[in-house]
Amino acid sequence: MPGFAVIDLETTGFSPRQHDRIAEVAVVLTDTAGRVQDEWCTLVNPERDLGPQHVHGISAADVSLAPTFAVVAPHLARLLEGRVIVAHNASFDTRFLRAEFGRVGLPVGIDPLACLCTMRLAGTFLPSAPRGLAICCELAGVVHDGAHSALGDARATAGLLEHYLGLDDADPLWAQAHEASATHSWPGLAVPDGFSPVLRGASRPTGHWLSGLSDRLDRVPFPVEADDYLALLDLALLDRYVSFTERGALLAAAEEAGLGRAQVESLHRGYLDALARVALEDGMLSDAEVADLHEVAGQLGMDADDVAAAVERAASGPVLATLPDGGAYLRAEASGAVGPGGDDGVDGAGVPGGAVATVAARPRFALARGDEIVLTGAMTRPREDWEREARAAGLSPWPNVTKRTRVVIAADPDSLSGKARTARRYGIPVVSENVLEELLGRVRPSASPRNQDFAPRIAGSPTKAHNCRLPYTPSSPP
């Protein structure tokens, strides 16, 4: 006798009729006595916004790497075949399973006799127990780690099942459920080759995200242009957080521009220099400006020593007011550091060891009165509150993304919502909610030429990031 398949789902909301989808599924297989035999879990790409992420804690970056339910369905059906389905609040989970299987053209009828609900069974085995999984586990002495994760809740539910079986394994309901499951059939589909589950944290880099960029010996010593990469960096750092999506776009832009890792790192050092020069224009650094430099440095793979060096260069070097429109050139640091390429001071990418790209001051992104903005996702504050504040600042909150949209504010900057996907297709910034208050605090009276010039585009946009084409020319050490 196959035993039980204890399942739990994390979803984008409460109702598949409202277009909510499964975002994570876990199955714990047990024998007929409730002893765990195996477990399985994967995130599922819901192809939409993730809903209340503060509840389930799933990131859009992680599910962007996950398979869709169409890919998961054959493997899931194989796990459930012949077993009694068990869930806490089973009607919720089975309703979503029916909807998801039906969406991919595999209508399944889950026999209610072949499905058990530990929440309902609590009335029999845990008299007067409340409905919640956590309190049921507490009363039964079952460990419940990882609440609101599919695997954590499935393990806890399996623990409840074993507790119930231990109290009365002769109850006729068990035999009845096994008999019904033996006659129920699931779609017999072949599991796709190469399928592997995707777990939480899959998007978390093992090293800095620049490790995705290889250094090649055939790089030219100084790239002809990198203005598109710099503009994309402006976009990514608008909210001082380089999201998973933005990391991928930056790596792609670097590859397209022929930039090796050492060259990108030199651009990043120069970018930090440019921010330090702007911060020092009034002759002093505030605590907020220092914190901002450290925040940017951390996102770009630099540390406190890099910040100190950038401030020192900004304080001692000339202000590059003559560089046009965000251009840059490479200069060698006076340290004369020797790169890994040999004792000639040139590393394996053809960049002078310790080279710093001298980058002109970057344009500061700002909204102007009348600009259209779009909000997406379940935010920490009610969307109506943000929209009211945006209108008070002179902005126009809009329900849909158009080519006129200036910025999309997302609960998760890696959001998979239709609005976020459309914004990326149009090259419109998608930034996190925590930057909105700052943007509202510095809305310009009207669109100025400088504000219009700031038009960074993400990878894949039909429009280039900047129209300028500024060559890099090596300069003598400062």
Rounded average pLDDT over 43-59: 95
Q: What is the pLDDT of residue 186?
A: 79
Query: Sorting pLDDT into bands at 50, 70 and 90, what band is 17?
Result: very high
d(CA 113, CA 179): 9
Q: What is the pLDDT of residue 319?
A: 46
Please answer whether residues 415 and 377 qualify as being in contact, where contact means their C-beta atoms are separated by less than 8 angstroms. yes
For residue 374, give the H/E element and its range.
strand 372-376
Q: What is the pLDDT of residue 322?
A: 37
For residue 430, give the H/E element and its range.
strand 430-432
Please answer whether residues 322 and 464 qualify as being in contact, where contact means their C-beta atoms are separated by less than 8 angstroms. no
For residue 261, give the H/E element and its range.
helix 261-279
For residue 304, give the H/E element and its range.
helix 304-316
Q: What is the pLDDT of residue 465?
A: 37
Please answer whether residues 122 and 129 qualify as being in contact, where contact means their C-beta atoms are separated by less than 8 angstroms. yes
Please answer whether residues 185 and 236 qualify as being in contact, where contact means their C-beta atoms are separated by less than 8 angstroms. no
Q: Which is it for strands 430-432 and 405-410: parallel, antiparallel or unpaired? A: parallel
Residue 119 has pLDDT above 90, yes or no: yes
Q: Which residues contact 21 (CB under 8 A, 6 or more apart)?
A: 11, 12, 44, 46, 47, 48, 69, 100
Residue 245 CA, chain-centre distance (Å), reads 7
d(CA 300, CA 275): 13
d(CA 215, CA 346): 13
Please answer whether residues 350 and 220 qualify as being in contact, where contact means their C-beta atoms are separated by less than 8 angstroms. yes
Looking at the chain, the whole-number percentage of residues with pLDDT higher than 90 is: 65
Q: What is the pLDDT of residue 213?
A: 73
Rounded average pLDDT over 130-143: 94
Three-class SS of 206-256: CCCHHHHCCCCCCCCCCCCCCHHHHHHHHHHCCCCCCCHHHHHHHHHHHHH
Q: Which residues contact 267 (CB under 8 A, 6 or more apart)?
A: 226, 229, 230, 233, 259, 328, 357, 359
Please answer whether residues 413 and 432 qualify as being in contact, where contact means their C-beta atoms are separated by less than 8 angstroms. yes
Q: What is the pLDDT of residue 244?
A: 94
d(CA 68, CA 25): 12
The DSSP annotation for 403-444 comes to TTEEEEEESSTT--SHHHHHHHHHT--EEEGGGHHHHHHT-B
Q: What is the pLDDT of residue 258?
A: 84
Min mean pLDDT across 46-60, 107-121, 323-337, 411-425 is at: 323-337
Q: Which residues contact 275 (CB under 8 A, 6 or more apart)?
A: 292, 293, 296, 310, 362
Total count of residues recorded for the chain: 478
Q: Residue 370 forms beta bridges with which residues? A: none
The region that residue 377 occupies, defined by phi over 0 for left and psi between -120 and 50 for alpha, beta otherwise, is left
The tally of CA atoms less than 13 A away on the side-chain side of residue 440 is 20
Work out the mean pLDDT of the chain and round it to a whole number. 84
Between the alpha carbon of residue 209 and those of residues 60, 100, 250, 449, the distances in Å are 17, 34, 10, 34
Decide which of 472 and 126 is more confident.
Answer: 126
Q: What is the pLDDT of residue 152?
A: 97
Q: What is the pLDDT of residue 23?
A: 98
Burial of 292 (0-12, 13-18, 19+ CB in 10 A): middle
Rounded average pLDDT over 58-65: 96
Q: Residue 408, SS3?
A: strand
Dihedral pair phi/psi, residue 376, rounded to 5°: -145, 145
Q: What is the pLDDT of residues 227-281, one digit of tens each?
A: 888 889 998 999 999 999 999 999 999 988 888 888 899 999 999 999 999 999 8
d(CA 326, CA 469): 10
Q: What is the DSSP letter of 17?
A: G
Min mean pLDDT across 300-309, 329-338, 376-385 is at: 329-338
Dihedral pair phi/psi, residue 28, rounded to 5°: -115, 120
Q: Residue 161, SS3?
A: helix
Please answer whether residues 246 and 413 qualify as being in contact, where contact means their C-beta atoms are separated by less than 8 angstroms. yes
Please answer whether residues 346 and 352 qualify as being in contact, where contact means their C-beta atoms are separated by less than 8 angstroms. yes
Q: Residue 4 forms beta bridges with which residues? A: 30, 84
d(CA 341, CA 277): 31
Q: What is the pLDDT of residues 306-363, one digit of tens each?
A: 999 999 999 986 544 434 444 444 443 332 222 233 334 444 444 444 578 778 777 7
